Amino acid sequence: MIHVTDRPRVDLHTTTIGCGADDVYRRLENVAQWSEIFEPTIHSAELSRDRDTQTIRLWATANGEPKSWVSERHLDPVARTIRFAQTVTAPPVAEMSGEWKVLPKSGDSCEVQLLHTYRAVDDAPASLDWISAAVDTNSTKELGALKAACERADGELGPFTFEDSVDTTADPVLLFSFLDRGELWAGRLDHVAEAEMKEFSDGLQFLRMRTRTPDGDTHVTESYRISQSPARLLYKQVTLPALLALHTGSWTIGPVGEQWRVTSRHTVAINADAVGKVLGDKATIADAKELARRNLGNNSLRTLEAAVRWAKADVPQR
């Protein structure tokens, strides 16, 4: 039984952004891009919308733990406010609501306020402290990331997206099984030296791999993944190589004619500060993008081709 008091805890975080209030509000309304802006957000999606009432689902980390919840949001683009309340919470949260408020300031700048009001399951003090720490950490990161995204000029430093696909007559269920069972990749993919995976609820996974580079070196990658069987697997890489500031992506399977198309999609942003250190003083952002596109694309195609071979084997091991 959940017991709550009449005195929830309230936290307010603010920042000033050198960008127009309408531009900032639009980024907050468009939750589909939150995983590209906010570090704690693994994936976000709009489930439904009726005029200015929006239902969204979020997968995010809180104090280093993956969580998933559903929120209803009330949008007011004129006042530039977004009120939200979680309708499906994740323990130890019993109730969570709040508001984004974007306030224009003099010049081309604005103040963003992020308010949270919450209670813990059974009002346990330790749980309240846990939630408070998560709210403080995530709010600080989110406001900082929002400021950076809004103030950063679009162009070569913004995220870019690319895809690689293969068409096949292989069984799509087996194809998805190959992609879904990341813990088996060390024995199935030549460029994966080690792999281990932890599974949570709601299709959430944590995959840790040691992968080989073309020159023989290895590096560790860690990603949160959301398995949406039987046709989509989403992920966000949280341990990144020095050259990348962001890497999210997906594996999808869909019909094309009488075949199935398996697609690997990547969204990547370059860490400008690392380009010279990694690639040399004369390297450019364009050089870094080309390298990222080539390396990630090659690995994706090798994975897709291996999935097809495995699915077409006489007795594939699930």
Burial zone of 71 (CB within 10 Å; 0-12 exposed, 13-18 middle, 19+ buried): buried
Query: Buried b vs exposed e over 246-259: b needs ≥16 C-beta within 10 Å?
Result: bbbbbbbbeeeeee
Closest by CA position to 33, among listed 135, 150, 204, 119: 150
Residue 155 confidence class, pLDDT cut points 50, 70, 90: low
pLDDT above 50: residue 1: no
* pLDDT in the model for residue 275: 95
Q: pTM of the prediction?
A: 0.88
pLDDT: is 155 or 245 the higher one? 245
Residue 129 confidence class, pLDDT cut points 50, 70, 90: very high
Residue 213 confidence class, pLDDT cut points 50, 70, 90: confident
Residue 156 confidence class, pLDDT cut points 50, 70, 90: confident
* Domains assigned to the chain: 9-151 (3.30.530.20), 160-312 (3.30.530.20)
pLDDT above 90: residue 2: no
Residue 154 confidence class, pLDDT cut points 50, 70, 90: low
Q: State phi, psi for 173 to the nearest 5 degrees.
A: -65, -40
How many whole angstroms separate alpha carbon 292 and alpha carbon 270?
Answer: 9
How many whole angstroms separate alpha carbon 212 and alpha carbon 219?
Answer: 7
